[in-house]
Structure 1
Amino acid sequence: MPRAVSGRLPRIGDWTDFDSLAKVQESLLAGTLAAASASAFYRTRRDGVPADRAELAGYPLTSKADLRDAYPFGMLAVDRTRLATYHESSGSTGTPTASYYTGADWADLVDRYTRMRVGIKDTDTFLVRTPYALMLTGHVAHAAARACGATVVPADNRSLATPYAKVVRLLKDLDVTLTWSLPTDALVWAAAAAQAGLRPDRDFPALRALLVAGEPLSEARRDRIAAVWGVPVVQEYGASETGGLAGECPHGELHLWADRAIFEVYDPATGRITADGSGELVVTPLCREAMPLLRYHIGDRVEVSYRDCPCGWALPIVRVLGRFSAGAGLTQVGLEELVFRLPAEYGVLFWRARHTGSGLRVQIEVEVRHGPAAAGELTAAIGAAYGLDATVEAVPPGTLVPPGVLTAMPEVMKPRGLFTADEDWDRALRYY
């Protein structure tokens, strides 16, 4: 397993500028290329394995299709007895992408996660609300919190055992101090708290920060979530195939962990690849032994810059725009920014939009008395930003996120074989 400084993982402060950061990358790259040569995928690739950074710069991209074709262990670079965990993507497009990590890989995953700017303390109660099943995100947060001595509440968001109403109860009754979730979840919890007669900014005094990842997040939506809960919202960015790739500094900028990976920006329209600018992210992890990846094309649309930041970390700054674009320069982050710039008193938390080709249809949940004003203001903002004819519909609260979703407490049972006459035995072998 490559290490840059005295046999340990790089730490912020080991470099002082972007030139010395490049030297940290160089110190790790040889080990990364050696690990890739042990991978069946790279060893048998027509181009072989690059010998150095100059050759890496011209090496073909590794795609998600490559990972799917290599399922399950075609990317493996160590003996399977050395693996600590196996993970998969959701597989929503068919064959999933597999990823796997050794114990040494896990040391790197945990170390990167604990760089969260708010810190994780042994006095924290940390509610983990991202998936556990096969995906990486919940397990990394869980392991990092335990490594810091925190108490973990494993509230997996793929389980009927922890509906939104129960999450609100846990947040309050357990004095949860930190949470890890999708940004959208934080808004749904706020709505569920309101249904329970609670105010997020008043009735959860132990909460000190909301840690979020897993979907694009505009500054306007982050500000709205922070205002609703009265605590900072701290963003992280990563993928199951790579682990965490970026985190926030004390000044709120999202920095790529370029001491642990080489990042590039790919323009699919021209095929041009640069170190910064706008395009799709390409990453070469530098501390990965089980599944080395060379120039892995994640596909997320990003903006990367190497400008100085007051934090002094000397790490590139990234803005993550997501993968979906509906034409006319329209992205989820861009549209979301306009939605959450609406005045807070309108109470807009939930929205959806559909690009029809000739225009845009948008629905926003908004209090009835503010509906006309909200619809008019958003229509004008979309026209000014994108030159699109938008039809904005103001729908009453509960239309997009029904109250039953916020208050439901489904019955959870284990498989059983024996039932009484008044029980539903069709659920005998179900576990939910």
Structure 2
Amino acid sequence: MPLRETRDAALRATVARLAASHPFYRDFWSQVDLSRVRGIDDLPLLPLTTKAMFTADPEAFRLEPDGSPERQLWDVAYTSGSTSAPAPIYQSAYDFHAILFAQVRMAEIRGMRGDDRIANLYPLTPQPHGAWTRANHAAAVLGATVVCGMSGASPWFDVTRRLPEVADLLVATRPTVLWGVPSYVRRVVDEVIRRGGTLPDVRMLAISGEAVTPAMAAQLAELLAAAGAPQVVISNSLGASELQYGLVECVAGAGFHNPVPELLHLDAVDEDGLPVPPGSPGAFVMTHLGRQGTVLVRYLLGDRVEVDHGPCPHCGRLGGRVVAHHGRSSRSLKIKGQLVDTTVLESTVAAVPGVADHRSVVRLRDLHDPLSGDELVVQVAPLPSFSADRVVEAVKLATRVTPAVEVTTADSLFPPDERMKPRRFVDERSESR
């Protein structure tokens, strides 16, 4: 069956299933004529679902169990957003097998192989999170070997490793793939070099969780070359907890491919919820096709993107690609009288040579005077080549705001519950006023 017909049939089955057994959509769609939703083109007939709706009552987004094997609970993962309490995402047995299938497709697209030795450098988190668990599941379904760095934190037991221990583990196990958050991967590789070790077999960095600019990618490649791995593919991906897998590149700059279009639909929409024309940015929406646990339809992920539904010019795949990512929605705010895009601020600091990790904080100059001026502080965990002047110059050029720079340690920048998705910009003014 052609892909379009497969997707249309999957959407019709999903809508019928949700109307009968999904607590949220059964009510949310009560005034919608669902008989008119016959395929993907009819999705705009359904209202958009916001993240606030989901996090307010995540239990209502789980299909009611019906005794079938497809809906039996397999595992639970939690979102990692910093603006609300973690929300559970339920995987049924069907969903988990679909995740394994998606991991196979992701590996095919990005070039990961069964003979790879994967170093899972995602942190262990207090709640189960998709990144750490799914990297292990990917290795299992590929037949690859995996070693877990086990950074992060446990509030109950001493089961994690410090940075020097992770670096020594990688040197001893000689991985071919480093998989994790780019800022932490950079810290680990730098620690390997600092301790006199090498990583000669690394051929790929599989990174997600943070935006990676070309300048950051060049820094990572340069660092790996210094660690003895001169030919490294940097495979970026775009993920979301609600997906439980990632959108990946076939080659750098080709766009983030939907690996399983028969299970997921992606689009960019305008303020009225209608798909935007090709080449135009819009709000990023996703629709699950076939899930049996937590199910989301026309769900706003909170990003602004451009989506191309044509074949990829490099690999020919269909199914939708995110070809441009314009950051999170509503990321601009006034600092010292200037309108600053915090996404630009974050990428600017990350691209400065010598910055191992970072966080930017805007606060009042005088905490006791709510009318005092703003102050932008860039907190940096440095590499040996760090220069505070370079940070000041880069930020001033990008934002027209001159920052103060504070040097600190990487471990002190983020509390344990932010290690998976670091909050790189904090506005403390609302807490003071």
**TM superposition score category, shorter chain reference:** 0.7 to 0.9
Q: Give percent identity, aligned residues only.
A: 24
Distance (whole Å) between structure 1 residues aligned to residue 361 and residue 114 of structure 2: 45
Q: Contact between 1:127 and 1:154, CA under 8 Å: does it hold in 2?
A: yes
> Structure 1 residue 318: deviation in Å?
3.1
Q: Which amino acid aligns with 1:310?
A: H
Counterpart of 1:76 (choices 46, 53, 63) is: 63
Q: Are residues 1:29 and 2:36 paired?
A: no
Q: Which residue of 2 aligns with 1:389?
A: 400
Distance (whole Å) between structure 2 residues aligned to residue 226 and residue 368 of structure 1: 17
Q: Which residue of 2 aligns with 1:50?
A: 34
| Secondary structure of 1:44 counterpart | helix
> Structure 1 residue 374: deviation in Å?
2.1
In the superposition, the TM-score normalised over structure 2's length comes to 0.74
Q: Are residues 1:169 and 2:174 paired?
A: no
Q: Which amino acid aligns with 1:169?
A: D
| Secondary structure of 2:314 counterpart | coil
Q: Which residue of 1 aligns with 2:390?
A: 374
Aligned pairs for 1:355-366 (under 5 A) are 361-362=377-378
Deviations 1:190-231 (A, max 9, x none): 332244234xxxx11122211111222222212211221132
Deviations 1:352-387 (A, max 9, x none): 4345797855455668987476256415631xxxxx
Q: Which amino acid aligns with 1:312?
A: G
Q: Are residues 1:124 and 2:102 paired?
A: no
Q: Which residue of 2 aligns with 1:10?
A: none
Distance (whole Å) between structure 2 residues aligned to residue 341 and residue 88 of structure 1: 30
Mark the CA change 1:56 to 1:50 in structure 2 (over 3 Å): closer, same or farther.
Answer: farther
Q: Which residue of 2 aligns with 1:294?
A: 297
| Secondary structure of 1:138 counterpart | helix
Distance (whole Å) between structure 2 residues aligned to residue 49 and residue 79 of structure 1: 25
**Which stretch of the first structure deviates more once superposed, 319-328 or 184-193?**
319-328
Q: Are residues 1:334 and 2:344 paired?
A: yes
Q: Which residue of 2 aligns with 1:427?
A: none
Aligned pairs for 1:137-152 (under 5 A) are 137-152=131-146
Q: Which residue of 2 aligns with 1:400?
A: 408
Distance (whole Å) between structure 2 residues aligned to residue 367 and residue 392 of structure 1: 19
Distance (whole Å) between structure 1 residues aligned to residue 219 and residue 385 of structure 2: 20
Q: Unaligned 5+ residue runs, structure 1?
A: 6-19, 383-387, 406-432
Deviations 1:245-277 (A, max 9, x none): 511113542334144322222445x76652653
Q: Which amino acid aligns with 2:200?
A: P
Q: From the CA coordinates, give the structure whose radius of gyration is larger.
A: 1
Deviations 1:390-410 (A, max 9, x none): 214566xxx2336999xxxxx
Q: Which amino acid aligns with 1:183?
A: P
Q: Which amino acid aligns with 2:408?
A: L
| Secondary structure of 1:293 counterpart | coil
Q: Are residues 1:206 and 2:206 paired?
A: no
Q: Which amino acid aligns with 1:318?
A: V
Q: Which residue of 2 aligns with 1:241?
A: 242
Q: Contact between 1:126 and 1:177, CA under 8 Å: does it hold in 2?
A: yes
**Which stretch of the first structure deviates more once superposed, 135-144 or 300-309?**
300-309
Q: Contact between 2:281 and 2:306, CA under 8 Å: does it hold in 1?
A: yes
Distance (whole Å) between structure 2 residues aligned to residue 77 and residue 158 of structure 1: 34
Q: Contact between 2:354 and 2:385, CA under 8 Å: does it hold in 1?
A: no
Q: Which residue of 2 aligns with 1:385?
A: none
**Which stretch of the first structure deviates more once superposed, 64-73 or 346-355?**
346-355
Q: Are residues 1:265 and 2:268 paired?
A: yes
Q: Which amino acid aligns with 1:70?
A: D
Distance (whole Å) between structure 2 residues aligned to residue 275 and residue 291 of structure 1: 30
Q: Contact between 2:356 and 2:383, CA under 8 Å: does it hold in 1?
A: no
Q: Which amino acid aligns with 1:204?
A: L
| Secondary structure of 1:309 counterpart | coil
> Structure 1 residue 177: deviation in Å?
1.7
Question: Number of paired residues?
Answer: 371
**Which stretch of the first structure deviates more once superposed, 47-56 or 216-225?**
47-56
Q: Contact between 1:218 and 1:336, CA under 8 Å: does it hold in 2?
A: no
Q: Which amino acid aligns with 1:311?
A: C
Q: Which residue of 2 aligns with 1:217?
A: 212
Mark the CA change 1:283 to 1:380 in structure 2 (over 3 Å): closer, same or farther.
Answer: same
> Structure 1 residue 294: deviation in Å?
1.0
Distance (whole Å) between structure 1 residues aligned to residue 190 and residue 383 of structure 2: 13
| Secondary structure of 1:179 counterpart | strand
Q: Unaligned 5+ residue runs, structure 2?
A: 226-231, 364-372, 414-433
Q: Which residue of 1 aligns with 2:324?
A: 319
Q: Which amino acid aligns with 2:115?
A: T
Q: Contact between 1:379 and 1:390, CA under 8 Å: does it hold in 2?
A: yes
Q: Which residue of 2 aligns with 1:113?
A: 103
| Secondary structure of 2:331 counterpart | coil
Q: Which amino acid aligns with 2:88?
A: A
Q: Contact between 1:217 and 1:333, CA under 8 Å: does it hold in 2?
A: no
> Structure 1 residue 339: deviation in Å?
4.0
